[in-house]
């Protein structure tokens, strides 16, 4: 039953986030360089990730027999590890690619994540983008599986948080692929296939965590470090710009909304 839930949740997070991104773009969200819409999405995603890490994943890890010192050390090592991965990816792209402004206008999400910091360049048919996305989605699947193995409710929350922060990211992917090919449907199919790799990561994660069940609290700490790093090193810096008082209030409202949604889903899942 756990494996079926993991597969369904990872498919929903991986492919669902692509389709939501495509629907929002079709509706005209993020079409302007200074559009408010993408900022709302980034705020929502940051709130969801922080709430998931601090209110759910970490408390679950600390309820285990693992020592607080070891778990905090794992959290610290995880944050530093993702930072180093980020630096390696930035260095790699800085040597190989240019920075097309069009790919980042408004919503192309410079995604500092547990696998890749996506500074997209429209070349080679976008395959470099898709390869990076696939590896990143595989990691997402492992993190979601770890959460499910700890608690079904925790898995649902983790999948929701992944979906939330992947939407602005996939909007950027779709922009890049549409620059390399006029076929919008094919761009959607390619990004959806990359998103589907999340399910593969979920299956691998299921068997990995099952074999290493004693290390589950540490898997949860690593998942937390990933979520915290993405929110604080990637999403929130994109929100730190000079805005009017009204726009600032809206940012805060959407940030709190992300936290509230995670809390609401947690309450509903717990009730059932």
- Please give the residue that has the higher pLDDT: either 196 or 108: 196
- Taking only the tens place, the pLDDT of each residue in 136-181 is 888 889 989 999 998 888 899 999 988 987 887 787 778 777 776 6
- Has residue 63 got a pLDDT over 80? yes
Q: By C-alpha distance, which of 23, 7, 10, 75 is closest to 188?
A: 23
Q: By C-alpha distance, which of 18, 254, 21, 20 is closest to 136?
A: 18
- Please give the residue that has the higher pLDDT: either 79 or 126: 79
Q: By C-alpha distance, which of 143, 154, 141 is closest to 57?
A: 154
Check residue 234 and give its pLDDT: 81
Check residue 71 and give its pLDDT: 94
| Per-domain residue ranges of the chain | 2-271
What is the rounded CA–CA span in Å between residue 56 and residue 224? Answer: 9
> Per the confidence metrics, is the pTM higher than 0.75?
no
- Please give the residue that has the higher pLDDT: either 108 or 38: 38
Number of neighbours of residue 154 by Cβ within 10 angstroms: 23
**Crossing angle between the packed helical segments 2-26 and 184-211, to the nearest 10 degrees:** 150
- Token pair of 92 as six digits: 């790699």
């Amino acid at each position: 039953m756990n494996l079926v839930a993991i597969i369904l949740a990872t498919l929903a997070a991986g492919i669902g986030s692509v389709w939501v991104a495509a629907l929002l773009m079709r509706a005209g969200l993020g079409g302007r360089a200074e559009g408010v819409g993408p900022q709302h999405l980034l705020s929502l995603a940051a709130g969801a990730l922080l709430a998931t890490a601090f209110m759910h994943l970490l408390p679950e890890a600390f309820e285990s027999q693992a020592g607080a010192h070891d778990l905090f050390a794992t959290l610290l090592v995880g944050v530093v590890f993702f930072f180093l991965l980020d630096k390696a990816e930035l260095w790699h792209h800085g040597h190989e690619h240019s920075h097309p402004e069009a790919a980042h206008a408004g919503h192309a999400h410079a995604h500092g994540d547990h696998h890749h910091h996506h500074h997209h360049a429209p070349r080679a048919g976008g395959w470099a983008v898709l390869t990076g996305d696939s590896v990143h989605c595989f990691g997402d699947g492992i993190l979601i599986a770890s959460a499910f193995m700890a608690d079904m409710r925790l898995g649902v929350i983790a999948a929701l948080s992944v979906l939330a922060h992947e939407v602005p990211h996939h909007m950027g992917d779709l922009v890049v692929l549409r620059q390399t090919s006029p076929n919008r449907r094919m761009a959607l199919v390619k990004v959806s296939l990359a998103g589907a790799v999340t399910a593969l990561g979920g299956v691998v994660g299921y068997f990995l965590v099952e074999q290493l069940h004693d290390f589950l609290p540490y898997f949860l700490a690593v998942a937390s470090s990933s979520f915290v790093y993405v929110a604080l090193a990637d999403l929130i810096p994109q929100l730190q710009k000079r805005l009017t008082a009204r726009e600032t209030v809206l940012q805060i409202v959407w940030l709190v909304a992300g936290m509230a949604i995670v809390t609401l889903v947690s309450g509903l899942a717990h009730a059932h």
